[in-house]
Amino acid sequence: MRVCVGGTFEHLHVGHRALLTRAMDLADELLIGVTSEQYALTTKGRRIPFLPRIKTVDIYVRTSGFTGPLTIMPLEDPYGPAASGEMDAIVVSEDTEPTAHEINQVRKEAGLDPLDIVVVPIVLGEDGDPVSSTRVREGAIDPEGRRP
């Protein structure tokens, strides 16, 4: 199965790992979109540069045992290649599920088959709040969702 997943993947945390792990579990072939530096700056503010983020994602996927074809590419918009590429499924978190439905609408309008949408639950930190790169960056939690 050709599976895609995307994100900024700043401060690769337990929630990111859950998303990537689910994608790897489903995929024979995996495409990972990583928000480009420019796109991340315009949508989310200052971020870790693009190249270190893709390297961290690549290392995580490869050390997790995924052996299929892997493509990691920059995302310049919310849809990326999922809107037009030859893929079977998209893995998203609960908070990005609406974007997956938008992608399927774009695919439908283009005469393409919809993607199976696989939703991964939001991972909560030990304080009961969602684990996020923002909270890690602010020092509220570590990448495992623990309070410092």
SS (H, E, C) the chain: CEEEEEECCCCCCHHHHHHHHHHHHHCCEEEEEEECHHHHHHHHCCCCCHHHHHHHHHHHHHHCCCCCCEEEEEECCCCHHHHCCCCCEEEEEHHHHHHHHHHHHHHHHCCCCCCEEEEECCCECCCCCECCHHHHHCCCCCCCCCCC
Confidence check: pLDDT of 15 > 90: yes
More confident residue, 38 or 73: 73
Confidence check: pLDDT of 44 > 80: no
Count the domains in the chain: 1
Residue 143 lies in a domain: no
Residue 108 lies in a domain: yes
Residue 144 lies in a domain: no
Residue 101 lies in a domain: yes
Confidence check: pLDDT of 33 > 70: yes
Residue 116 lies in a domain: yes
Is the pTM value of this prediction over 0.85?
yes
Could you list the residue range(s) of the whole structural domain that residue 105 is in? Answer: 2-137
Residue 104 lies in a domain: yes
More confident residue, 130 or 148: 130
Confidence check: pLDDT of 115 > 90: yes
Confidence at 48, pLDDT banded by 50, 70, 90: confident
Domain at 129, CATH number:
3.40.50.620
